[in-house]
Amino acid sequence: MSQSQISGSQALMRAFLAEGVETIFGYPGGAIMPVYDALYDFHDKMRHILVRHEQGAVHAAQGYSRVTGKTGVVIATSGPGATNVITGVADAMIDSTPMVVVCGQVVASLLATDAFQETDVVGITQPITKWSYQIRSAAEIPWAVARAFYIAREGRPGPVVLDLTKNAQIELMNFHYEPCTFIRSFIPTPPIDEQVVSDAAALINQAKKPFALVGQGVILGNAENELLAMLEKAQIPAAWTLLGLSAMPTDHPLNKGMLGMHGNYGCNIKTNECDVLIAIGMRFDDRVTSKLATYAKQAKIIHFDIDIAEINKNVKADVAVLGNSKETIAAVTKQLQPARHDEWISSFDSYAKIEYDEVIKEEIDPSTPDIKMGEVISKVSEATGHKAICVTDVGQNQMMGARYFRFSQTRSMVTSGGLGTMGFGLPAAIGAKIGAPHRTVCLFCGDGGIQMTIQELGTILQENIGVKIIVLNNHFLGMVRQWQEMFFDERYSFTNMKNPDFVAVAKAYGINGKCVSTHEELDHAIAEMVSNDDAYLLEVRIEPKGMVLPMVPAGADITDVRLK
């Protein structure tokens, strides 16, 4: 053995360090043991979080990435370890989250023999990753890792999977690392077309009723300041998608609320009244547009995006501004004339008042003894000074979190937007707290969702992670129950839940907690929960049949907003 030679596993660790990796989420197993043996010698340079299930590792890496902007890193073993990461990989793909997942694999000589814990990881993950590659020799590791991080973070971010055979982990090689800066045929950021920029600016300058739809592309491009500069210069009211939340402060006068199925009344109505619709870093998914045949047909459409595949996919753009949002927004803003649209902006107010009177007032300040979801979320947000990171699971808790939590800084909303993965919340909150240790992280989840990944309370115990867990317990799979009530004649088919004592479960993991069922208890418990940085589980017994309103039924016109 040459003194300059190292094993493939050691090379992987050195490659991680070269890419600036500080935190790894993972779970060891047979086919990845050489890598974990090498990690033993690097534990003072990289923090490894031992989760309780591989799905927890990918969701934690997503939470970490979403609050830091860094690429999340996951290690899992072969076979079931690899298949357990699939949901999280698909989630990261549709939500544009940069992530590198390294899975162990059987030795190359046993590939395609149905060896113990062998599965076709590349075949499974190719449709749900930006790149999936099998490494069969140690010499490939530096090249593959450099390429993986480059692809994951550049352009529209997303997940990459490296399927690492066991022999490659053990073989010796001469280590040399060169970061990847170019891949032939991969153009992550399209060059800006100056004529298109001028065309977009001309449309906005001529607009009488412009309306901006803000998606996650603004946050991914670090373009929050550029966005505000454009909106304020041309006085453009804006609304956000679920993943665009926190790109601009909640209380900004041009922020008119959320779009889509459970969005704000005025935002959906005005979508079909504006004359220029400016979509920025969003993909016109069905939860935002509802019925495409009647969506914003009166408006000229300007679509800013870094991914050409999103242009004209669902909604045809009159002007498509391709490129990084930080650069394209600034380029268009330079050509904008200062403008005022006072009458147009104030026209949102009447709808906001109707929504407040019909929905919001009773939701945050109920007149009945039962605690409501919006009341809980509003009070927790208030108790944190509207400075906390809001993490949600999926279902009613997610939509209520989006509607009633308030934001004062960017990268403050972590949720599973596109895939809608129940069980996402708890591990994602763990990753968010690790990524932003000095901020308060509040997780809102239902009694159904938390039980999908409740084993990650063990990760909180082991790593002493101060996540605030708020379980909105209505003894139902709430969102499915709501649809059964509205669209299935109240036939509550298998949505009632008999639950454990969540506070007792938390205490078994060394986590303090409390269960409340009255308004008075709620105030005291929230104050206790946020009084220090320790983990805390607050179970809130909420009204059994609470509804998330407003609601646009699936497939209806976006203006078909139901307030009751």
Q: Of 166, 270, 326, 468, which is the active-site residue?
A: 166
Would you call 479 a catalytic residue per the annotation?
Answer: yes
Q: Of 45, 116, 316, 490, which is the active-site residue?
A: 116
Q: Of 13, 258, 479, 551, which is the active-site residue?
A: 479
Q: 229, 238 in Cβ contact below 8 A? A: no
CA distance 358 to 467: 34
**Beta-strand pair 319-322/389-392:** unpaired
The SS3 call for residue 131 is strand
Would you call 54 a catalytic residue per the annotation?
Answer: yes
Q: Of 117, 235, 335, 455, which is the active-site residue?
A: 117
Would you call 116 a catalytic residue per the annotation?
Answer: yes
Task: Burial-class residue 519 by CB neighbours within 10 Å (0-12, 13-18, 19+).
Answer: middle
Write the DSSP symbol of residue 516. E
Write the DSSP symbol of residue 371. B
CA distance 58 to 95: 13
The SS3 call for residue 235 is coil
Amino acid identity for residue 7 in this structure: S
CA distance 165 to 76: 12
Amino acid identity for residue 274 in this structure: C
Q: Of 54, 118, 154, 171, which is the active-site residue?
A: 54
CA distance 143 to 371: 55
CA distance 227 to 140: 42
CA distance 299 to 272: 8
CA distance 295 to 211: 14
Amino acid identity for residue 470 in this structure: I
Q: Tell me which residues are annotated as active site.
A: 54, 116-117, 166, 479
